[in-house]
Structure 1
Amino acid sequence: MEVKTSKTDNANVKIEAKIDKKEIENKSEKIAKQLAKTMDMPGFRKGKVPVAIVKKKYGQKLTQDAESQLFQEALNKGIEEAGIKKDELLGEPKFEEFNRTEEAIEAVITVSFRPQIDIEGYEEVVPDFEEPEVTEEEVEERIKQLVESAAPLKKVEEDRPLQEGDTAVIDFKGYVEGKELEGGSAQNFSLKIGSGQFIEGFEEQLIGMKPGETKTIEVTFPEDYHNKDIAGKPAKFDVTLKEIRVKEDVELDDELAKKLLNEEDATVEKLREKVREELKSAKLSKLYNEELKPKLIEALVEKFEFDLPKNIVEQEIDLHLRKKLQNMTEEELKELRENEDKIKELRDSFKEEAQRSVKATFIVDALAKAEKIEVNDQEVIQTIYFEAMQMGENPQEILEMYQKQGLIPAIKMAMIEDKLLTALLNKKMEQK
């Protein structure tokens, strides 16, 4: 066996291997002898099957196994010669060339490994920013909303029509194409007018009704309505207004503050402080996520230069390509199948984006280690469960789906990235 190793760059190694026919035959013989010792075959005692019988039964398979083992040995030798540790290897080796002759098999294999990244000076690229401020008007507006939400509803006794901002207690029954709409009826349903809770046009047509009055309301379901059977179709609803309710006037005092904060020692002033903190946190979160984090990751990618593992970049390109293909029409797919150049052109179009994505991942990984940022498996599961419940999905089913699709590592990496960028921005803010 001849093995020649050369580093392509600081993330990839080229291994040239040549395996003679005689070596393959010897290895095949050895495998056959090992198999004969454990093989069960009618007419022979276990472990006493002649090697010739084993070779006759598994001839081609023995040769394939011999070649596979020899190439693994060549790979191991090449990796050892290159001085690469097993835990530094990334992805699967890629055969760049494979030639079979009567005398030998020759192959060129690329092996990728984790690049070493010099992250010195990463703090310098964290962008400057002004800490968001919260005005007294914003605090008062939020408190007003909280007080209003805590106020109980009371029935309107005066003889007046329903108006914007009222809560209507209604019975309704819906029809589409003359047939009763499944799930489209209710009794004593509370609907705040102006909330946008119902289909567009429904609430507006209730305005002006008086308790006891019945009215037929006509609306059209949106084209993108979740129930495709009725999306875009006109509907009629027979609606009876039973009662009008409005919020009672509630005075903000320490007792109400205790209820709103669920704290025994709460005061109005403490409520204002909490509201101010929450508003500031929300503004800061928006600034971080919409502006500063994208800017920071871009700056980090621009700052550091290092070689990328070829097979990881190829995997990322394949991922982008698969996503693109999923959104293509059958006609577009047919055109690609018939033109290899177009497939290559499409694949190449994702190369730069894939390289930047892979580069960012390695930078984040290195910085997370430097900043001691970690995300454990329990945090990942909790995040998946929380998001699933927010979407009204079954958390366990979503978790199992992600596990089957192999998405957990990507989710974990995204969480580490978010945690890291937040930590770097917080540190920048504290330095001011």
Structure 2
Amino acid sequence: MQVTETQNEGLKRAYTMLLTAQELDDKVIEKLKEAQPDVEMKGFRKGKVPLALMKKNFGPRVMGEAMQEAVDNAMKAHFEATGDRPAGEPAVKMANEDWKEGDDVQVEMSYEALPEIPDLDMKKVKLERMKVTPDDAAVDEALASLAESAQDFDDRKKGSKAKDGDQITMDFVGKVDGEAFEGGSAEDYPLVLGSNSFIPGFEEQLVGVKADEEKDVTVNFPDDYQAEHLAGKEAVFSCTIKAVKAPKAAEIDDELAKKFGAEDLDGLKGQIRERLEAEYAGAARAVMKRALLDQLDEMVDFDLPPSMVDSEAGQIAHQLWHDENPDVQGHDHPEVEPTEEHIKLAKRRVRLGLLLADLGQRAEVQVSDAEMTQAIMEQARQYPGQERQFFEYVQQNQQMQQQMRAPIFEEKVVDYVVELSDVTEKEVSKDELQKQIEALDEE
């Protein structure tokens, strides 16, 4: 099959491939001969059907297979000979759309090649790994937060009005059009005001109530309420307040520790210290990773496949548009055009993505089955009761697997590069680390 280059500009490549009618016919005959021993037709013994008759009956179908096989083999041979790696699926189409049997086959192929990535001396990369040691104040602060989350409630003085954050105990009966509805009544129900556990507007109307008070609360069910027979309806809840209680943080003692799975308070403090160390280390890694990517970005300069940049810029612009318009859930909105800033960011992401992929390939970095399983299990926890279905969905979805594998691969490549880099440790305070994290968010 003859291949002729028609474009070679930057990373853009285009070729015409010519398969002569004779070459195609030879391939058809070859395939028919391969199948002949197993072919049976009326009037002929198995394996004795004449090639001419086989060609008449099966020729068109075999011709299509032979044509596709010839094109595939030509493409494979082309990439092996040139060393080109296409950035995406090559575009392939028939040049002579009015082709008929007996004509030569002309095929056009075009693609964007991945660029050559230069070798880098990783020892030139200088990084600083910040280290924060949790002090007693940080542990005590975390303890106080845990105690607050494990809060209890004490009765307020008789006659006190309920405040936001208080817990009220009540009986209530809800009615729509004067009729009580299923699921709209309860007795001795504990409700923390401000918890947003009831429909909008309900809890706000109970701020200020007292024990032994009766109060009607009027609300409208949302139009998209899950119970269709109540959606959009006005409801009146007749509430009888039995108690008003103020929040009270749990005592910081061994009993609190046991609530969180520790044997005693010292054990809980040890767990908190370990958790804080892990959090600080994770934050310090994020800062160091940004510094690493910044340096790598400055160290390389190579052509980028335009289609990859355009696609990435479009995704960035689209995501940022949704961030600025959170009320729009779907994609039925005006087309979002990438700005120069979006394109600049896209170029950085594509450049670093290609660089990290190349570094990982050269270092033979692999994502193990165990690492993938762990990642899937962690994400499956976001779907309580449907973990098995999620796991099966990922196993059957190659694109989803790739989306989950990519960040694991990137982190492993970053670890590999860090090991080769010149890294110094620096002891810093929690506040210094926090400032660095905030600076990342601002960029």
The TM-score with structure 2 as length reference comes to 0.69
The partner residue of 1:305 within 298, 301, 325 is 301
Deviations 1:304-339 (A, max 9, x none): 233556887788799899999x7245xx79xxxxxx
Structure 1 match to 2:171? 171
Q: CA 1:227/1:408 → structure 2, altered by over 3 Å: closer, same or farther?
A: farther
Deviations 1:230-278 (A, max 9, x none): 677654322233344556776434x3464255344x444x644543554
The partner residue of 1:431 within 401, 425, 428 is 425
Q: CA 1:364/1:49 → structure 2, altered by over 3 Å: closer, same or farther?
A: same
**Residue correspondence of structure 1 range 311-322 to structure 2 within 5 A:** none
**Residue correspondence of structure 1 range 51-200 to structure 2 within 5 A:** 51-82=51-82, 92-95=89-92, 98-99=95-96, 104-110=104-110, 116-118=116-118, 120-121=120-121, 139-150=139-150, 156=155, 159-161=158-160, 163-164=162-163, 165-175=165-175, 180=180, 183-200=183-200
- Residues 13 and 82 of structure 1 are in contact (CA less than 8 Å); yes or no, is this contact kept in structure 2? no
- Residues 95 and 108 of structure 2 are in contact (CA less than 8 Å); yes or no, is this contact kept in structure 1? yes
TM-fit CA distance, 1:413: 0.3
Structure 2 match to 1:360? 352
Q: CA 1:105/1:368 → structure 2, altered by over 3 Å: closer, same or farther?
A: closer
**Residue correspondence of structure 1 range 211-250 to structure 2 within 5 A:** 211-220=211-220, 234-245=234-245
Query: Is structure 2 residue 323 aligned with structure 1 residue 327?
Result: no
- Residues 219 and 236 of structure 1 are in contact (CA less than 8 Å); yes or no, is this contact kept in structure 2? yes
Q: CA 1:125/1:327 → structure 2, altered by over 3 Å: closer, same or farther?
A: farther
- Residues 35 and 54 of structure 1 are in contact (CA less than 8 Å); yes or no, is this contact kept in structure 2? no
How far apart are the structure 1 equivalents of 2:49 and 2:36?
Answer: 5
TM-fit CA distance, 1:409: 0.8
With a CA cutoff of 8 Å and minimum separation of 6, indicate the structure with the bigger relative contact order.
2
Count of aligned pairs: 410
Q: CA 1:307/1:42 → structure 2, altered by over 3 Å: closer, same or farther?
A: farther
TM-fit CA distance, 1:351: 7.9
**Residue correspondence of structure 1 range 326-345 to structure 2 within 5 A:** 327-328=331-332
Structure 1 match to 2:404? 411
Give the unaligned 5+ runs of structure 2.
322-329, 427-443
Three-state SS of the structure 1 residue aligned to 2:95 is strand
- Residues 5 and 78 of structure 1 are in contact (CA less than 8 Å); yes or no, is this contact kept in structure 2? no
How far apart are the structure 1 equivalents of 2:39 and 2:133?
Answer: 78
Give the unaligned 5+ runs of structure 1.
334-342
TM-fit CA distance, 1:76: 3.5
TM-fit CA distance, 1:357: 4.4
TM-fit CA distance, 1:26: 1.7
Q: CA 1:421/1:237 → structure 2, altered by over 3 Å: closer, same or farther?
A: farther
Deviations 1:70-96 (A, max 9, x none): 223323433343257xxx677544337
Structure 2 match to 1:382? 374
Three-state SS of the structure 1 residue aligned to 2:105 is strand
The partner residue of 1:275 within 252, 272, 275 is 272
Q: State the percentage of identical aligned residues.
A: 27
TM-fit CA distance, 1:2: 2.7
TM-fit CA distance, 1:21: 1.6
- Residues 211 and 243 of structure 1 are in contact (CA less than 8 Å); yes or no, is this contact kept in structure 2? yes
Q: CA 1:185/1:392 → structure 2, altered by over 3 Å: closer, same or farther?
A: farther
TM-fit CA distance, 1:171: 3.0
- Residues 163 and 208 of structure 1 are in contact (CA less than 8 Å); yes or no, is this contact kept in structure 2? yes
The TM-score with structure 1 as length reference comes to 0.70
CA RMSD, 1 decimal:
5.0
- Residues 217 and 236 of structure 1 are in contact (CA less than 8 Å); yes or no, is this contact kept in structure 2? yes
TM-fit CA distance, 1:383: 3.1
How far apart are the structure 1 equivalents of 2:400 and 2:294?
Answer: 24
